[in-house]
Structure 1
């Protein structure tokens, strides 16, 4: 294993060896004061492959007995995204009700149990050891050949009227029932007034025949259609599509896959600029930012700008100017802490082969207008700029937002 391998993966590798169990890969997203949400991709050699999901019980071993735990299976496509029947591009090599290689299994680290004494009972089909990296969350899950008996209420929900998503401690409302027009965002425990958020700003821009004659579409021009919703005990999944037209020409369809957890929102986005569009469009770009509201005193750090720290105070410091426009690497994290009971950890993940330069956007100005927005000023505005998007190549990015009361 590489020397840079995270402790959790080292633990799994030593425990699982080359047996090919589903535990071979483990991504752990830790949040203070809450159990970490675990996402386990199913390995192609796992004994779970081909099993009917309604015949698999997830349990932990505590106090001398097995106990059923909250979990959720996420069927996956042969591509990068979760499987939705309404997605015409979705392909699988197994029925949706059976486990396939690449499927995901959601669990909570706090539900992990003790190691069962050997030998294991015959009904144990797989052993899933986990570690959170600091040793405090080490434990084991077991998969039994048995029909699940327990039912669990959803950890996150999609409200339809009016449109909103909510988890254990947060709620995000949408303006005019539009998934791209973010409204009030509230978080239980935040020591502040009203919403933390002004909104989400999307801008798709391209030159029309000439690079200087640019046409820009923003949130007001984009109206995603919800195609399918899947509610589960650990996450609610939403599939939506948006058709984008420029000067009457349909240039692309954006596919979005939302995975909403108790304290997280993960959004998969994919689209392809068709090669034929190159005849009329020049230098297409995308700008994605989130505009905070009255978050003075909050602090922001990134994984690629070293010890530099941005402080929301209405003025751009030399440090913040140095952070603006920096190149965002493939492996990236942004930490944002209000110091008032709300913190955010964000990542932007790119698929292999995507080589479009990505620049960091940061603005801190309580007076500067920058529509579309609900309130004047950027307090702060944080996001990413992608220039010269390629034609004929699939663009796929995953935005991850993880909420907590404070950063560790």
Structure 2
């Protein structure tokens, strides 16, 4: 009897391996997209222990475990951290409507052959459909003993070091708003990005006492990490100091993705503390290192790129004047040396303040804290006004590539557009 079962098992395996559908390869812009499935879209899964759930997909005709993670969220809509002051939206350790299941688009496979054996109980079929109509599938499984070993994002809290197959980023251990090092795998040249810069221009009590605060006075220290194979999230205390006195505390979460990162900043501005700051404006930018010949396009400047050469041209002045706004604010920087970056800003809640483009192209100007002198280019966003009280919230997203293909209208918005999803109970 045991021999018969073994023969049947391998016969089914052979049939399945020969009959699986071949799928066209995903484009580079699609392959490493992080697919998010909301818990509320799988009501029959709600209440199940998270430890019992895993993902699988067809790989070369065989069902295999694939990397995944399930993140729980707090009542404010951010990733939940135990000990942080915002409570969990659902129940700890069980699937809730606010939980999110994450996996990579490239790990979805052909539809499962019902004859394909696998350990555990199939509870959901998740169908993805790309813009060409090609369907790929992953399967939510309960009580499987199988787990994938792949870690697409690797993080050391002690070193402040993030590594993926595409980039590495090391933070200053005393302030995660300072980058000690950045590298991109296929980039041709030395370190391409110098620093992430924050600048707050404000008067203190009166507009006459204007001052600029930078990454030395804005400090973000980690208080917790969620290290997953798809995304690593760090919770930080973000404190603004004036004359060494803390006057504003915000929550910051940094999400590290295989080909990108996101800064999520949220907080309530106390009215009394806000009155200390007169006409404040904030800039957030990436300072690149000698990207001579690099091109910059924006949502309002798509035809003639700004070319980095160490001085501001009339074309660059026109791009700066064209500006940005809340609805149209993407920035595309292409180094032409196997590193492109697209940036977006999304406001959260009722926060809806005016926005401008920050762009500098200067061979010599120093603007510490930074590693290399010069702003070639220094490009990013300015928030030109702050509310007198209430909620402040925004997310800055960066997506990296060896080189995006086509014109900006072909790929910029698509870079963060997820495939269609259909979820079916099994």
Deviates more, 1:122-131 or 1:202-211: 122-131
After alignment, is 242-251 or 83-92 more displaced? 242-251
Aligned match for 1:110, one of 106, 112, 117: 106
Q: Which residue of 2 aligns with 1:390?
A: 387
Computing the radius of gyration from Cα coordinates, the structure with the larger value is 2
Aligned counterparts of 1:205 and 1:271: Cα–Cα separation in 2:
19
Is residue 126 from structure 1 mapped to residue 133 from structure 2 by the alignment?
A: no
Change (3 A) 1:214 1:134: farther
Cα distance in 2 for partners of 1:263, 1:65 equals 28
Classify 1:117/1:153 alpha carbon distance in 2 versus 1 (closer, same or farther; 3 Å): closer
Taking the aligned partners of 1:392 and 1:367, their CA distance within structure 2 comes to 39
What is the Cα deviation at residue 201 of structure 1? 1.3
Task: Give the distance between the partners of 2:27 and 2:44, measured in 1 at CA.
Answer: 28
Find the aligned partners of 2:147 and 2:63 in 1 and give their Cα distance. 13
Structure 2 counterparts to residues 146-157 of structure 1, below 5 A: 146-157=143-154
Cα distance in 1 for partners of 2:146, 2:108 equals 18
Structure 1 pair 142–392 and aligned structure 2 pair: CA distance change class (3 A): same
Give the counterpart of 1:256 among 244, 252, 257. Answer: 252
State the distance in 2 between where 1:256 and 1:72 align. 21
SS at structure 2 position matched to 1:219? coil
Tell me if 1:361 matches 2:358: yes
Aligned equivalent of 1:173, options 150, 170, 173: 170
Gaps of 5+ in 1: 1-28
Does residue 1:213 correspond to 2:217, yes or no? Answer: no
- SS of the residue corresponding to residue 276 of structure 1 reads helix
Of 267, 282, 292 in structure 1, the residue corresponding to residue 263 of structure 2 is 267
Partner of 2:138: 141
**Is residue 54 of structure 2 the alignment partner of residue 46 of structure 1?**
no
Do residues 78 (structure 1) and 75 (structure 2) align? yes
Provide the rounded CA distance (Å) in 1 between the counterparts of 2:159 and 2:111: 46
CA distance in 1, matches of 2:27, 2:327: 20
Normalised by the length of structure 1, the TM-score is 0.84
Output one character per residue of 1:257-282: Cα deviation in whole Å (capped at 9) or x when no partner: 11112222122111222111244321
Q: State how many pairs are aligned.
A: 377
Q: 1:40 to 1:182 in 2, by over 3 A?
A: same
Contact 2:280 2:386 survives alignment (8 Å): yes
Kindly state the Cα deviation for residue 230 of structure 1 after the two structures are TM-superposed. Answer: 1.7
Does structure 1 conserve the Cα–Cα contact (< 8 Å) formed by 2:65 and 2:148?
no
Alignment root-mean-square deviation, CA: 2.6
Name structure 2 gaps, 5 residues minimum: 1-25, 406-426
Question: In 2, distance between residues paired with 1:372 and 1:100?
Answer: 43
Whole-Å Cα distance in 2 between the matches of residues 355 and 79 of structure 1? Answer: 18
For residue 57 of structure 2, what is the aligned residue in structure 1? 60
1:8 maps to: none
Could you tell me how far apart the structure 2 residues matched to 1:34 and 1:65 are? 20
